[in-house]
Structure 1
Amino acid sequence: MELIQTIEQWAWIGWLVLILVFLVIEMLTLDFTFLMLSIGGLAGLGSDLLGAPIWLQVIVAGVVAAVLVLFLRPPLLRRLRRGEDPTPSNVDALIDLRGRVIATVSTHGGQVKLANGDVWTARSETGELEPGTPIHVSRIDGATAVVRSDAPTASPTEDPRA
């Protein structure tokens, strides 16, 4: 019994440490999750200061944190991301980018020059592509662009000489 009384007597220190740890993690993640958990810890600290037993403090902290994570965090994230630039960047900006083959591209390798001026090592998804063939990027695999031909293919009923 003496151990439980000691824990209840010094629980406020545990709540403060927990709140500070959650705030530091929130500063590193910037996701609002740990901010909501730290506010839940603040509610637990408040219930401790009002004389609630330790089990009630934990329940209060958990309920407050859960309510905040479920109901306050989503609108905060929407508001935060409202002004974001929707333009893709980095590798995402290369997907579906057009270009031309500058060195024969096979399923093992080759080179393409993309519309943004970059020259990339490339692999073809299907078959071999000759220099000058128009392409578009399907995906990026490491430092290699996986490309597809944009050249229209002749159907069997069409005369390629026409």
Structure 2
Amino acid sequence: MYEWLVANAWVVWLALFLLLAIIEMISLDLYFIMLGVGALGGVTVALFGGEFWVQVVVFSVTAMLMIMLVRPIALRHLRKDPEALRTNMDRLIGEDALVLEPTSRMNGRAKIGGETWSARTEDETSMQPGTYGSVVRIDGATAYITLRTHLPDLD
């Protein structure tokens, strides 16, 4: 049995890779997939006929480099929150609002993103129709806006 394992070490490394990939799918913390890439390094060395100790060294070095160099970059890309990925009402925060009716803390209407919304001012100011505001927050079906200090980009 030992001779078969040594002669077919690539099978063991491949099985280890598959096991680590399954564990990664469950955990989603990017450690096990980095170890899996190390196992693929072991598969490569085994297929080229390298000694078992060389396979282990390649596995260890590759996995360590992946964890130290690639994992932090991958986590940074996964955790960043680009504005293009914001959904629903979150994407309206910061958008331009064209005031359609006189708007105060009590009532008003504004056009935001091509749709008409109930609008309120965030502070004590009132806004007249035709002025532009900026959406500060959304509460239910009401957008809270503040006076925009510059005109929106019209491109």
Offset at residue 13 of structure 1 (A):
1.3
1:59 is aligned to 2:64: no
1:20 is aligned to 2:32: no
Deviations 1:40-93 (A, max 9, x none): 0000000000110111001101100000001110111011001189xxxxxxxx
1:37 is aligned to 2:57: no
Q: Distance in 1 between matches of 2:6 and 2:46?
A: 8
Runs (5+) with no aligned partner, structure 2: 84-155
What is the aligned length?
83
Question: Which 4+ runs in 1 deviate beyond 3 A?
Answer: none
Contact 2:5-2:12 at 8 Å conserved across structures: no
Q: Which amino acid aligns with 2:42?
A: G
Identity %: 37
Offset at residue 7 of structure 1 (A):
2.3
Deviations 1:137-156 (A, max 9, x none): xxxxxxxxxxxxxxxxxxxx
Q: Distance in 1 between matches of 2:13 and 2:82?
A: 35
SS of the aligned residue for 2:49 comes to coil
Q: Distance in 1 between matches of 2:50 and 2:8?
A: 13
TM-score of the pair, normalised by structure 1:
0.48
Pairing of 1:71-82 with structure 2 (within 5 A): 71-82=69-80
Deviations 1:94-119 (A, max 9, x none): xxxxxxxxxxxxxxxxxxxxxxxxxx
- 1:7 pairs with one of 5, 8, 12: 5
Runs (5+) with no aligned partner, structure 1: 86-162
Q: Which amino acid aligns with 2:24?
A: E
Q: Distance in 1 between matches of 2:53 and 2:82?
A: 42
TM-score of the pair, normalised by structure 2:
0.50
Q: Which amino acid aligns with 1:62?
A: S
Pairing of 1:96-111 with structure 2 (within 5 A): none
Q: Which amino acid aligns with 2:67?
A: V
